[in-house]
Chain A
Amino acid sequence: MTGSLSSWQIWQVINMNNLLIVGQYVPTNSIVHRMDPRIKMLIIFFYVIFIFFANNIVSYALFTVFAVGGTLLTKVPWRFIAKGLTPVWFLIVFTFILHLFVTKEGTVLVNVFGLPIYSGALEQGAVISLRFFLLILLTSLLTLTTTPIEITDGVESLLGPLRRFKFPVHELALMMSISLRFIPTLLQETEKISNAQASRGVDFRTGPFRERVRAVIPLLVPLFVSAFKRAEELAMAMEARGYRGGEGRTKLRELQVMKRDVAALVIFIIVVAAALITRDYS
């Protein structure tokens, strides 16, 4: 689908600018991409909880196989996945090293600069790092395989029951989708204004921090003014088009649980059950 490819490129631009990490959707149209976003979110939610029950090789192996298997199914090239993990690699390694020196269980394996490294420390450091890695991997699969608007639809649907408690679910989802729609527009505008200000000699890319902060003001003020004007006009246009809140509204984009979603859920439940059975109870 060329459509998503280009939106993905825009997300990449956003990532590069480091302005806002909205997502890093990679359109490969795999089975994971076509899954219902609600099911993906549910699975991730419970995965995050149940992985803390794993405490031996078998149970960890089960969770690892599930996450790695899922990753393979997405057909997303490894370099994109690795890129998504880059910021947390450091944390994973750091956690591992910290455990090496702090934990004092089992037998002493070696001495590093006079500090003893215990076998238990090696084990625990590896386990915690693995768990951390699996969590990040699985959650990053969500943004890699689900467009932001699908996530929005999923959130709206999952939060649906909260409507009974007067929680503004529809408004929240509309806000999210309008933000998504306007991010590229506002980015283009920021670019335009920053070029215009740069041509007037305002420089917010170099120089001391204080200077740069001061230079950002002539960028922000017109941006805000224009954003408010947009908001006003948009509200007017929405009203002219018959918008009157979530009541009595139908939806074009409909989420449907398909066979593949049920299959994914069943596999997940089996993995969790197996892990709960095989873990150590003592």
Chain B
Amino acid sequence: MYAIEFKNVSFRYEEEQPYVLRNVSFQVEAGEWLAIIGHNGSGKSTIAKLMNGLLFPTEGEIIINGIPLNEENIWEIRRQVGMVFQNPDNQFVGTTVRDDVAFGLENRGVPRAEMMDRITSSLEQVRMQDYLLHEPYRLSGGQKQRVAIAGVLAISPSVIILDEATAMLDPLGRKEILDTVHHVQAAQQLGLITITHDLNEVMQAHRVLVMNDGEIWTTTVPRELVKRQTELQQIGLDVPFVTQLAHALERQGITLDEQPIDHEELLDALWTLHSNK
């Protein structure tokens, strides 16, 4: 059983309009981190919204933890699939951090006593427990996103989707969010789907799904993906700096043993290269 399974899903927003997703099939296993990447308008957010019943497929089938998604069970599905959106401000409902994390719990009729425990523990997981009574305008974008993640964690979902949740943050904030989510995901064996159009952010994922014009371009592991620099550039994706540097070195006749995927690996490759000589 997969955490999420798309079977030949096609989707268009209106009849007569072109399909924005064509014949999309893929699976996400429990505890797996799948990154979805693609140029603007390639259909990434549409996929995300299909996953928790904010949209329904025009054709094809979506199965979440063995349950086929339909109008009757969207509430159960939404309890299992938590979603964090791009704009930190436009998903903060409560007047304080505590009230915002409570929102999802209140919606599901969780008793008050239990709410308190769940709020504290999910805020601890994103290290925001000291901000319980803060209002949103006193939080940075990154802090608001962490509260949004806590709000999702509080309902103990089995899958978390981040739809460009780090796009409006600075590099440090981005890294913090990704580290936090990765940590929680690994600890609780959650399915994690991160949507981005920055290849830097897919390097830690287990698998990458590349979207191009509403179709799956490829599904692979990050290390393999970055080898296809020119092809990626053709579909509007820039490879990370580390990869570009490795390619540039190659052109100069310096070949590294293995394609590095982050700064650390690049450093290792460089200094071992030197000592190999």
A116 to B52, CA, bound (A): 80
> CB of B254 within 8 A of chain A?
no
* Given known contacts A244-B107, A249-B106, A250-B105, A237 and B137 CB-to-CB distance under 8 angstroms: no
* Given known contacts A185-B137, A236-B54, A242-B108, A252 and B93 CB-to-CB distance under 8 angstroms: no
Q: How many A-B residue pairs have CB under 8 A?
A: 102
Which residues of chain B are within 8 angstroms of A149 by Cβ–Cβ distance?
Answer: 95, 99
A241 touches B107 (CB 8 A): yes
Contact with B along A129-158 (1 / 0, CB 8 A): 000000000000000000001000000000
| The residue from A4, A6, A237, A252 contacting B106, defined by CB atoms under 8 A apart | A252
A242 touches B112 (CB 8 A): no
A242 touches B155 (CB 8 A): yes
A188 to B138, CA, bound (A): 12
Which A-B residue pairs are the 6 nearest by beta carbons?
Answer: A237-B91, A252-B102, A233-B90, A3-B133, A242-B107, A184-B137
Contact with B along A223-234 (1 / 0, CB 8 A): 000000110011
Which residues of chain A are within 8 angstroms of B83 by Cβ–Cβ distance?
Answer: 237, 240
A72 to B116, CA, bound (A): 35
Which residues of chain A are within 8 angstroms of B89 by Cβ–Cβ distance?
Answer: 185, 230
Residues of B within 8 A of A (CB): 49, 52, 54, 75, 78-79, 82-83, 85, 87, 89-96, 98-99, 102-112, 115-116, 119, 133-138, 151-152, 155
B111 touches A241 (CB 8 A): no
- Which secondary structure characterizes the binding site on chain A? helix
A10 to B134, CA, bound (A): 13
A3 touches B108 (CB 8 A): no
> CB of A180 within 8 A of chain B?
yes
B90 touches A254 (CB 8 A): no
> CB of A248 within 8 A of chain B?
yes
B93 touches A240 (CB 8 A): no
> CB of A210 within 8 A of chain B?
no
Which residues of chain A are within 8 angstroms of B135 by Cβ–Cβ distance?
Answer: 3, 6-7, 10, 181, 184
* Given known contacts A184-B135, A185-B137, A234-B90, A252 and B112 CB-to-CB distance under 8 angstroms: yes
CB closest chain-B residue, reference A177: B95
B137 touches A1 (CB 8 A): no
Q: Give chain A's interface residue range (CB within 8 Å of chain B).
A: 20 to 34
> CB of A238 within 8 A of chain B?
yes
CB closest chain-A residue, reference B91: A237
A10 to B95, CA, bound (A): 13
Residues of A within 8 A of B (CB): 1, 3-4, 6-7, 10, 149, 177-178, 180-181, 184-185, 188, 229-230, 233-234, 236-244, 248-254
A175 to B115, CA, bound (A): 23
Q: Can you name 13 A-B residue pairings with CB atoms under 8 Å?
A: A3-B133, A177-B95, A188-B137, A236-B49, A237-B85, A238-B93, A238-B103, A241-B103, A250-B111, A250-B112, A252-B102, A252-B105, A254-B112
Which residues of chain A are within 8 angstroms of B138 by Cβ–Cβ distance?
Answer: 6
Which residues of chain A are within 8 angstroms of B137 by Cβ–Cβ distance?
Answer: 10, 184-185, 188
A229 to B91, CA, bound (A): 12
Which residues of chain A are within 8 angstroms of B79 by Cβ–Cβ distance?
Answer: 242
Which residues of chain A are within 8 angstroms of B49 by Cβ–Cβ distance?
Answer: 236
Which residues of chain B are within 8 angstroms of A254 by Cβ–Cβ distance?
Answer: 112
Output the least CB separation between B53 and chain A (Å): 9
Which residues of chain B are within 8 angstroms of A178 by Cβ–Cβ distance?
Answer: 93
Which residues of chain B are within 8 angstroms of A4 by Cβ–Cβ distance?
Answer: 133
B104 touches A242 (CB 8 A): yes
Which residues of chain A are within 8 angstroms of B109 by Cβ–Cβ distance?
Answer: 248-250
CB closest chain-A residue, reference B135: A7
CB closest chain-A residue, reference B131: A3
